[in-house]
Structure 1
Amino acid sequence: MVCSSFDNFLTAINSFGFRVADSRDHLKSVNVAHSIFTQKFRASCAVYARTLELPTFGHGENHALPQVCDIISSALIDPIATLVCCTGHVANVHVQPGAAHLRQRFAAVPKDLPQRCGMSRVE
């Protein structure tokens, strides 16, 4: 699902890209990479034409980049998206009026950054 969504996004913006994924288990990473490889390079009806390479997995103990992405997502993107999409529809602790300040302060920043597609923990 992540690969298809990412490839659709790349098609929509007429661009190419690759994925960097957080690896929690080497065997699962190998299986995922093999599965994507067989889909991408099958003889008939190949998919992921806009994706340049198989996913790259972080295998170190540090995982600093995925942790930074997780912090940015948890602290900025998710609160802003929840406020925008759920206000008036959902009334719970996740819809925080204080996120309006975050939206005002940081909304323009992602427009200047390369686009990313990510999900936390896909298994």
Structure 2
Amino acid sequence: MPPVDVATWELSDSPEQVASARGSCAEQLTRWGLSDLAFTTELLVSELVTNAIRHGSAPVGLRLIRDRALVCGVHDASSSAPRVCHATGNDERGRGLFMIEETAGRWGVRFDPGGKTVWAEQDIGEETAAD
């Protein structure tokens, strides 16, 4: 993967990092000519980073990869597997991964010795894919 097609950020485990991560991603999408994906990407980033901060372990890292699809991955040091919850109308929490499942083309979890990466993929179409 050419370095120009990858953007990486190290984040603290502070909830304030979520807004910063969204902004960084939006700026990167503009540089890549993919600003039409900003709203959905910011939603995915918000949920993935929030889950990593709330349920995972530091350090937290965020990576965008531009290829045939746009892949957003958030890594944390926890090995606990996330699970999709189906919240009821009165639940305050439990909708994050469900929203990712409904919004992303595909998503998943990849485990490694240092923790896990939860990733979500969006189709960017052939006309906007990296050269």
TM-score of the alignment, normalized to the shorter chain, above 0.5? no
Q: TM-score normalised by the shorter chain: which range applies?
A: under 0.3
**Rg larger in structure:** 1
Answer 1 or 2: which has greater helix percent: 1
TM-score (norm 1): 0.24
Answer 1 or 2: which has greater strand percent: 2
